[in-house]
Amino acid sequence: MNSVDNTLAVFTKLFFILNPVASIPLYLSSIQDKDQREAKRIAIEAVGLAFALAMFFLIVGDAFLSFLGIDLNAFRVAGGVILFLLGLENTLNITFREKSSSKQSRASVLIATPMLTGPGLISTIITLKQDFSMIEILAALSIAMILAYIILRSSNLLVKYVGNESLNILNKIFGLLIMSIGANMILNGATKIIKSLSEI
């Protein structure tokens, strides 16, 4: 595949894992009684923090794993499990983790992490570096974050014209796709681990 195809492939994975649709309820609750300027600030701050955190792991993630002595394929399997569980949460509307209250933390921080840049996105970014260039991942990540910002800022319109029920269905579809990406990561990581063990 050429660079454009690679970037598109990476973008597709990252955008589904970002799943900005899931952040809409928290964003809307955080901008109640806020003017447009404040609502815009919250969205910019949330996406900016999410992008900065993702960039940090894009740059130093593999070095961090090496420092801890963690095999990349083992991390790939662990990341796949996390993605599968995150997708399962979205699809079945269940939770495997305690969710923070917006009263305890700033909404922009909660949207940034774990809603946008959580363990699933971080593990995916680190493993993508084995198959794609830094430029391709950076371009795809930038586009995905820009779209996440647009979706957050359009939350009121989406709820008004699309409806909560349709957004819930879309969120479940995202969940199924995230589960598929996670299962694929588990399969790839496990296959490479088995192959390396057979060569010993």
Residue 84 covered by a domain: no
Low-confidence ranges of the chain (pLDDT < 50): 101-104
What residue type is assigned to position 186 of the chain? I
**Looking at the domain assignment, is residue 16 inside a domain?**
yes
pLDDT per position as a tens digit, 30-74 = 888 888 999 999 999 999 999 999 999 999 988 888 898 988 888
Does this model's pTM top 0.85? My answer is: no
Residue-wise pLDDT for 185-194, tens only, equals 899 889 988 9
SS3 per residue for the chain? CCHHHHHHHHHHHHHHHHCHHHHHHHHHHHCCCCCHHHHHHHHHHHHHHHHHHHHHHHHHHHHHHHHHCCCHHHHHHHHHHHHHHHHHHHHHCCCCCCCCCCCCCCHHHHHHHHHHCCHHHHHHHHHHCCCCCHHHHHHHHHHHHHHHHHHHHCHHHHHHHCCHHHHHHHHHHHHHHHHHHHHHHHHHHHHHHHHHHHCC
In which domain, by residue range, is 10 found?
A: 3-73+93-167
How many folded domains does the chain comprise?
1
pLDDT recorded at residue 58: 95
CB 128 within 8 Å of CB 10: yes
48 within a domain of the structure (yes/no): yes
Q: Which pLDDT score is estimated for 72?
A: 84
- The Cα 141–Cα 51 span in angstroms is 8
177 lies in a domain?
A: no
